[in-house]
């Protein structure tokens, strides 16, 4: 390739992430999993459970498998450029990946003993769709509320994803890690998690950083779910600026971002300083009140 040629843009892969929340005496907690140190993407980082959309995820559209119609799920996403099967599949992918990675599954009448049986079958190699059919499980897709949509920048050196983030109240059960893709499961409060990140005690990527900063504004799970159900998910396509001092991530609403309307609360720009992404005005800028927030597209 000619060295002067622009780098090829890597293809986007559709993916889903599920932000599981639970209430505690000190406020809502969110489940985060530590990626395996040898993972191709975000090795060693703490993430919300999730992964790429698989073709079988789009095959579950009827009331036997889903507790809400595929058309209603499609409308809730607000994406007119994808079909109904793909839209429903994104919800299914979020539940399937979360079950595979953490052992928690949102399904009707799924008591802990049956969940353990389902997890054992999955570990033995049974396909997720087959598992649902044989155990008569109906996914609670209606419990998922679209939260945001993050698209990896075109010049990313890693794989690129078009990831839909969903929020839901966590089901009863013990969260665990799978010892393959993830090596630790941890319930965290958003602000203390960001404080640990600031001190260098855990690794976070920008989507997780900004999502935690957003969730820190809520005092309960009900509050976060009410926000998500009251708006369309925000579309976030970071605009990257590279200079001798490092890499800067700009978000919608920033003067250097092509989209001038703010999409989420929190800082409009994250700077790379050492191994850390941080606002120019320091830690408290994560929680400062924005002058204007415009959700959706």
For residues 276-289, average pLDDT: 93
Q: Which two tokens stand for residue 281?
A: 């005005």
Is the predicted pLDDT of residue 3 greater than 50, yes or no? no
Q: What is the pLDDT of residue 247?
A: 85
Average pLDDT over residues 16-42: 87
| pLDDT score for 291 | 58
- Residue 131: how many CB atoms within 10 A of its CB? 19
Q: Report the chain's mean pLDDT, rounded to a whole number.
A: 90
> Which domains does the chain possess?
12-286 (3.90.79.10)
pLDDT of the residue at 41? 60
Local confidence band at 43 (pLDDT 50, 70, 90 cut-offs): low
Q: Is the pLDDT of residue 278 over 80?
A: yes
For the chain, the distance separating the N- and C-terminal CA atoms, rounded to the nearest angstrom, is: 38
Average pLDDT of the segment spanning 128-148: 97
Gap between the Cα atoms of 117 and 123, Å rounded: 10
Lowest mean pLDDT among 5-19, 66-80, 81-95, 153-167: 5-19
Q: Stretch 170-191: mean pLDDT, rounded?
A: 87
Q: What percent of the chain has pLDDT over 70?
A: 92
pLDDT given for residue 244 in this prediction: 74
Spatial distance between the Cα atoms of 47 and 86, rounded to a whole number of angstroms:
24
Q: Mean of the pLDDT values across residues 124-134? A: 96
- The reported pLDDT for the residue numbered 38 is 53
Q: What is the DSSP string of the chain?
A: --TTSPPPPPPEEEEEEEEEEE--TTS-EEEEEEEPTT-SSSTT-EE-SEEE--GGGGG--STTTBSS-HHHHHHHHT-TTS-HHHHHHHHHHHHHHHHHHHS---BTT--HHHHHHHHHHHHTT--HHHHHHHHT--B-GGG-EEEEEEE--TT-SS-EEEEEEEEEEPPSS-----SSSEEEEEEE-HHHHHHHHHTTSS---HHHHHHHHHHTT-SSHHHHHHHHHTSPPEEE--EEEEETTEEEEE-TTSTTSS--S--SSS-SEEEEETTEEE-TT-GGGGSSPPS------
So what's the pLDDT on residue 17? Answer: 98
Q: Is the pLDDT of residue 46 over 70?
A: yes
For 125-136, what is the mean pLDDT?
Answer: 96
State phi, psi for 184 to the nearest 5 degrees.
-160, 140
pLDDT of residue 57: 97
Residue 148: beta bridge partners?
A: 165, 234
> Tens digit of pLDDT for each residue in 94-128?
999 999 999 999 999 999 899 999 999 999 999 99
On whether the CB atoms of residues 52 and 130 are closer than 8 A, the answer is: no
- Give per-residue pLDDT as tens, 222-269: 999 999 999 999 999 999 998 777 789 999 999 999 999 999 999 999
Averaged over 168-179, what is the pLDDT? 87
User: Distance (Å, rounded) from C-alpha 148 to C-alpha 295?
Assistant: 9
Instruction: Say which residues have a Cβ less than 8 Å from residue 216's Cβ, sequence separation at least 6.
Output: 189, 190, 191, 194, 286, 287
């Amino acid at each position: 390739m000619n060295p002067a040629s622009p780098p090829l843009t890597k293809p986007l892969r559709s993916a889903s992430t599920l932000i599981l929340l639970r209430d505690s005496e000190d406020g809502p907690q969110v489940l985060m999993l530590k990626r395996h140190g040898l993972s191709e993407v975000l090795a060693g980082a703490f993430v919300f459970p999730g992964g790429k959309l698989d073709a079988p995820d789009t095959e579950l559209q009827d009331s036997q498998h889903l507790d809400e119609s595929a058309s209603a799920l499609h409308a809730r996403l607000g994406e007119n450029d994808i079909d109904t099967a793909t839209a429903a599949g994104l919800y299914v992918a979020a539940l399937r990946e979360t079950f595979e990675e953490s052992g928690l599954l949102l399904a009707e009448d799924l008591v802990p003993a049956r969940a353990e049986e389902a997890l054992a079958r999955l570990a033995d190699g049974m396909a997720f769709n087959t598992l649902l059919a044989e155990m008569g499980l109906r996914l609670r897709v209606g419990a998922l509320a679209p939260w945001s949509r993050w698209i990896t920048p075109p010049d990313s050196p890693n794989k690129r994803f078009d990831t839909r983030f969903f929020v839901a109240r966590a089901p009863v059960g013990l969260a665990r890690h799978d010892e393959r893709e993830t090596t630790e499961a941890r319930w965290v409060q958003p602000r203390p998690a960001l404080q640990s990140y600031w001190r260098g005690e855990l690794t976070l990527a920008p989507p997780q950083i900004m999502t935690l900063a957003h969730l820190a504004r809520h005092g309960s799970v009900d509050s976060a779910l009410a926000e998500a159900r009251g708006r369309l998910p925000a579309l976030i396509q970071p605009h990257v600026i590279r200079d001798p001092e490092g890499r800067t991530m700009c978000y919608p609403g920033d003067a250097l971002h092509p989209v001038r309307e703010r999409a989420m609360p929190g800082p409009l720009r994250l700077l790379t300083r050492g191994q850390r992404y941080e606002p120019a005005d320091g830690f408290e800028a994560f929680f400062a009140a924005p002058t204007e927030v415009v959700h959706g597209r």
